Amino acid sequence: MSQPDENQLTRPWVDWTARQIHDPVWRLRYLQSVAPVPHPVSRWKSRKTIGLLTLLALGLVAAPLSLRRLGAANAAPPTLPTLPMLPAPPKLPPIHLVEPAVAPSADVWSVEKASDFEAYSNGLRIENQYAVSNRPRAYVAFSMADAEGSGGEKRTDPAGIVYHTTESLQAPFESSENNRLKRVGESLIDYVRRRRCYNFLIDRFGRVFRIVKESDAAYHAGHSVWADDRYFYVNLNDSFIGISFEAQTGAGEASTNAGNAQVRAAAMLTEMLRSRYKISGRNCVTHAQVSVNPSNMQIGYHVDWASSFPFEKLGLPDNYAMPSPAISLFGFAFNASFEHRAGVRLAAGAMDADRALAARAQAVHLSLAAYRKALHRRYLKIMASYRVE
């Protein structure tokens, strides 16, 4: 058995000493100083020894670094600096719409019902010979306490009434024009019947025709918004009954050519419907009040009955005075021509709603433009899942 080489006996000490030298340059110099003198037999062995010593020194340098990296890999990820939280969508303050004082509708009952007409206790007569069916009425009444429209109450009974004018051809209302008046009226009935335009039509003589049954939706309101003190409604075809006068309306404060017989018939029809379906006077409104245009986010897309609707004669509160729910709830706007097209009374309600909107924007520390955009997003979110026909 051969004796151990002196180098083999001293190597553990050399290695330990080298590890105590933290500076890599001085560590390398130390290893070179304690290296054995090369044997003259072979130069390449000397070079090999120096190379091995160099690798050993570098290894001693690299080992702590590798251990640190390994520890870093196994350690928990570093804590990142906390970024400022983006503001949540503004919690918009609730809208309070006060129910106008109005006497409750009287109890009205059916006196007689035949295949082609109905008669009621208040003197109303409804002609049924043109009545047609359409898709069943079904809608969601959204709670005013949840203006985001995340839930709602599913219903099938109508919540309100929207009044229209047909804007159709008008013959002079004179006895000499009697035959023409009847022909024009019959043609109009055929048109709205085929298109399922309204639930009821009141012709120039004050006759009430049922067009689409109340249990079904009629295509009368399109893109529209309204609200009472507890619920808001969008696209009122399903949620509101459509009643149209065979009449035309002028711009602004101009009166319609609706006759006294039509107004009396509308009062009796309104009274019967409110009695049957427990409809609030707050929810009896005109098409001009509810119509909106989502393409430019403005109110007043249709302006029939924008002014001069005889609310009082129908036993209803003056709903022209109410601030526009489309503005209050969803930030709709109106352009410079709105007052001319809608009239002073409807424009005043729109401006009241706009001023209240600006005050609420200030309350949540947003510019009016930013607040409108937040409300627009709310509307589009609700509309994304709501059918329009």
Give the tens place of pLDDT for each residue, 141-197: 999 988 788 888 999 999 999 999 999 989 999 999 999 999 999 999 999 999 999
What pLDDT, on a 0 to 100 scale, did the predictor assign at position 254? 61
HSE, side-chain direction, 13 A CA sphere, residue 275: 17
Mean pLDDT (the chain) is 81
Q: Global pTM?
A: 0.74
- What tokens appear for 158 in the block? 């109508």
- Superfamily for 110-383? Peptidoglycan recognition protein-like (3.40.80.10)
User: pLDDT band at 253, cuts 50/70/90?
Assistant: low
Are 208 and 123 in contact, with CB atoms under 8 Å apart? no
Average pLDDT over residues 103-115: 83
Q: In whole angstroms, what is the distance from residue 385 CA to residue 148 CA?
A: 13
Q: Tell me how far apart the alpha carbons of residues 247 and 231 are, in angstroms, rounded to a whole number.
A: 31
Q: What is the mean pLDDT of residues 4-15?
A: 47
- Torsional sign, CA 345, 349, 350, 356: positive
Tokens coding 123? 């003197």
Q: Over 60: is that where the pLDDT of 296 sits?
A: yes
Nearest to 242 by CA among 268, 217, 261: 217
25 pLDDT higher than 50: yes
According to the model, what pLDDT value does residue 256 have?
Answer: 75
115 Cβ partners below 8 Å, 6+ apart? 128
Alpha carbon 305 to chain centroid, angstroms: 26
Burial level of 16, CB count in 10 A (0-12/13-18/19+)?
exposed
Q: How confident is the model over 30-63, as pLDDT tens digits?
A: 565 555 544 444 444 445 444 544 444 444 444 4
Residue linked to tokens 């004796």: 3
Confidence of residue 85 (pLDDT cuts 50, 70, 90): very low
Find where tokens 């706009």 sit.
Answer: 354
